[in-house]
Amino acid sequence: MNTEHADPAELAALRTAFDVDDGGESALGWAAVRAFEAEHRVVLPEPYRTFVAEVTDGSYAGPPEYGLVGLAELPDDWSDDGTARDLAKPFPLAQKWLWEEDDGPYEDPDAVIEHVLKHGSIVLGTDGCAINWHLVVTGPQRGHIWHITDVGAMPFGAEFGYTTSAPGFAGWVAHWAAGNGWFDMA
């Protein structure tokens, strides 16, 4: 997974997976991507960065179940308590945590859960019922996809043991486009 440079083959596969052939009309463009990054004090990981700049900014086609939301958007079912999201604060997790079952090693688990939901990642979209997919944009997990629900969070990619997928945005999309179940590892 290369989060610094877009691989042309990955971009071509992303274009195909989302069936985007509109000459970039649905893309944000580089000026808008750079403005978003400056406003939020982050640099988006590749190939997602080039994807939203040159291919498309959101799609009704999955993944996830209800489509890919635009870069500056949140899913329709996102519950917002008015607390600002801070993408520049590092995403706090490195491994699966089911907070419904366990407080984890945290002194204040509620604060960590709030951080998981609001900081260090952008929301790619929802499978409904607050079952969301995030792309981590800051911290050691930068570039990885996380499945975050109201009961816990888990990383996506073969290295974490829940799926056969390659990590990152391109691996996540390729896994979906191949028709695989999200968690296909026994």
Q: Give the Cα separation of 51 and 96 in Å (integer).
A: 27
Residue 18 included in any domain: yes
In three-state secondary structure terms, 146 is strand
- The domain that holds 36 is classified in CATH as 3.40.1580
Quick check: is 3 in a domain? Answer: no
Contacts of 181 (CB under 8 A, 6+ apart): none
Q: Is residue 160 part of a domain?
A: yes
Q: What span, in angstroms and rounded, lies between the C-alpha atoms of 91 and 140?
A: 8
In a domain, 163, yes or no: yes
Judged by DSSP in three states, 124 sits in strand
pLDDT at 117 over 80: yes
Exposure letters 157-168 (e unless 16+ CB within 10 A, then b)? beebebbebbbb
The whole-angstrom separation of Cα 115 and Cα 108 is 11
53-57, 65-69, 122-126, 135-139, range with the lowest pLDDT = 65-69
Number of folded domains that form the chain: 1
Helix ranges restricted to H, 51-158: 109-118
On whether residue 49 sits in a domain, the answer given is yes
Whether 104 contacts 112, CB under 8 Å: yes
Please tell me the distance from the alpha carbon of residue 126 to that of residue 131, in angstroms, as a whole number.
6
Q: pLDDT tens digit string along 142-186? A: 999 999 999 999 999 999 988 889 999 999 999 999 988 888 875
Per-residue pLDDT reduced to its tens digit, 103-114: 888 889 999 999
Q: In degrees, to the nearest 5, what angle opens at C-alpha 129 toward C-alphas 124 and 131?
A: 40
Residue 182: which of 156, 154, 143, 146 has the closest Cα? 156
Longest dimension (CA), the chain: 51
Residues 66 and 126 sit within 8 Å (Cβ to Cβ): yes
- 88, part of any domain: yes
Domain boundaries, position 14: 8-68+78-177
Enter the pTM of the model. Answer: 0.93
In a domain, 134, yes or no: yes
Give a yes or no: residue 183 inside a domain. no
